Chain A
Amino acid sequence: MYDIKNLYEPKSVQEALSLRKEHPEALVLAGGSDILIQIREGKLAGCDLISIFALDELRGICLEDDGTLLIRPLASFTDVVMHPLIQKHMPVLGEAVEQIGGPQIRNIGTIGGNICNGVTSADSAGTLKAYDAILEIASLEGTRVLPYAQFNLKPGKVDLRPGEILTGIRIPKASYENTYAHFIKYAMRRAMDIATLSCSVNVRLTDDKMSIDRLRIAFGVAAPTPIRARTAETSAKGHPLNEELINKVAKGALSDVMPRTSWRASKEFRLHLVEELARRATITSIEKAGGKING
């Protein structure tokens, strides 16, 4: 039995929003693979919950008329991995969330929960940041649209105000079109582990495949929240595909991050990983795009 004080079970998003307004202290329960565990650990014992798990209107992945990829927040990690639209347009997101936990956790954990938790190690976060995801956030007053870049306020704290629920994650066509990407999770084990550091890179090459048109790079566990490395990105713009480019991205990333020492790894080791993972993920992304380094 879980130590839950009150459990509310809305039958629709509308009802969930009313409950959010009525009970601002209650937590939103999606798949529960973080919240239920923290109740067991005692950290959240005695809390109030609004379970949205049964709201199928918040599930699913589709393509909108203008080509925008829409991921509903209750899509499980397995849903993301298996979905043909993700495999076609944004395979790197599936590759990233396939490294979460084990099969059982990927079946219950949701992509919305992963980003609303606000932790820097969320495996979907780097890739969604690197693709300029846009969030749809609903309340009884209406819907607001927020770039995911502005969502994380501090560790464990996101810009979800009282009465609000995340209802959609969108990737515009201009963001995913013609991009090739690679994600690396560095962890001690191959499953059931939290990233020591993670890096998600995506590139779009110029038509002649000789230089970078656009490169985007994001990291998990390299700062208090998942972050983009803007210096690295700027230095890559228009750059020919050579060794110097890879060095600029890797060194540039170092000036964008601020990792800390934790029991998992030291700051120094994380800085080493930032440089090395940036290098490897960039090289692989360029190769996937059909580019040749020093070609």
Chain B
Amino acid sequence: MARRTVTCTINGIHREYSVDVRASLSDMLRGQGGLDSIKHGCDVGECGACTVLIDGQPFNSCIYLAIWAEGKTILTLEGLSDKKGAISDIQQAFIDEGAVQCGFCTPGFIMASIPIITRDEVASRDEIRKQVAGNLCRCTGYDKIINAIEKTQHKRIEEKQAK
């Protein structure tokens, strides 16, 4: 089958991969990029476990062709850690709030929440729910996940105001 070279930026690093044109972005990121935070859950865009940010917006990488990533800037959960490998505030909030049980959905939820936690206006719980409506969790009952996102958003806004 035909192959293509895909050039893109993944977690701040310029990457070039040779991919089968039939590959999904999740195939490329997990298989060639070794980014195991991306989960193959449903593989049909319903569960959100494979969510990554493409040019700042959340996408299901399972229903996105790898060749479409040409020239794009991609962020996965691995890209949230700092240079020393310390986890980010949103990841810590998921731990503190008990928003992680089996953990399979967690990377997807965290990536889907980024547009909310990076914005300057306070989001209501309803808005947070809407932002993560494309992600499924079978363990937590969602409340703790919403708590973790809400807490991080408030914390970040306070930090910005303190500056």
Contacts and interface: CB of A to CB of B under 8 A. Distances in A.
A199 to B, nearest CB: 22
A81 B115 CA distance: 15
Contacts of B46: 192
B48 A1 contact: no
Contacts of A208: none
B51 A53 contact: no
A191 B22 contact: no
A32 B48 CA distance: 16
Interface string A27-57: 0000011001100110000000001011000
A9 B57 CA distance: 24
Interface in A123-168: none
A2 interface: yes
A190 to B, nearest CB: 7
Contact of A37 (B22, B45, B67): B45
Interface in A34-90: 36-37, 40-41, 51, 53-54, 78
Give the residue among A102, A104, A190 with the most B Cβ atoms within 10 A.
A104
Contacts, number: 84
B67 A9 contact: yes
A7 interface: yes
Size category of the binding interface on chain B: 20 to 34
Given A2-B22, A7-B21, A108 B63 contact: yes
B133 A32 contact: no
B22 A4 contact: yes
A103 B134 contact: yes
A41 B60 CA distance: 17
B22 A3 contact: yes
A69 to B, nearest CB: 24
A7 B20 CA distance: 11
Given A1-B24, A9-B67, A33-B63, A104 B134 contact: yes
A36 B43 CA distance: 10
Given A102-B48, A105-B45, A1 B23 contact: yes
B70 A54 contact: yes
A7 B63 CA distance: 15
Interface string B87-116: 000000000000000000000000010010
Nearest to B44: A37
Interface residues of A, number: 26
Nearest to A51: B65
Contacts of B54: 107
B92 to A, nearest CB: 23
Contacts of B63: 32-33, 36-37, 108
A40 B43 contact: yes
A107 B20 contact: no
A140 B73 CA distance: 35
Interface string B55-82: 0011110011101101000000000000
A101 interface: yes
Contacts of B132: 102
B2 to A, nearest CB: 7
Interface string B15-39: 0000011111001000000000000
A176 to B, nearest CB: 27
B142 to A, nearest CB: 12
Contact of A192 (B43, B67, B131, B134): B134
Contact of A108 (B20, B48, B59): B59
Contacts of A40: 43-44
A104 B47 CA distance: 10
Contacts of A190: 133
Interface string A1-26: 11110010100000000000000000
Given A32-B65, A108-B63, 5 more contacts: A1-B24, A7-B65, A107-B57, A108-B45, A191-B130
14 contacts: A2-B23, A2-B65, A9-B21, A33-B63, A37-B44, A37-B63, A54-B68, A102-B132, A103-B57, A104-B112, A104-B134, A105-B134, A107-B58, A191-B134
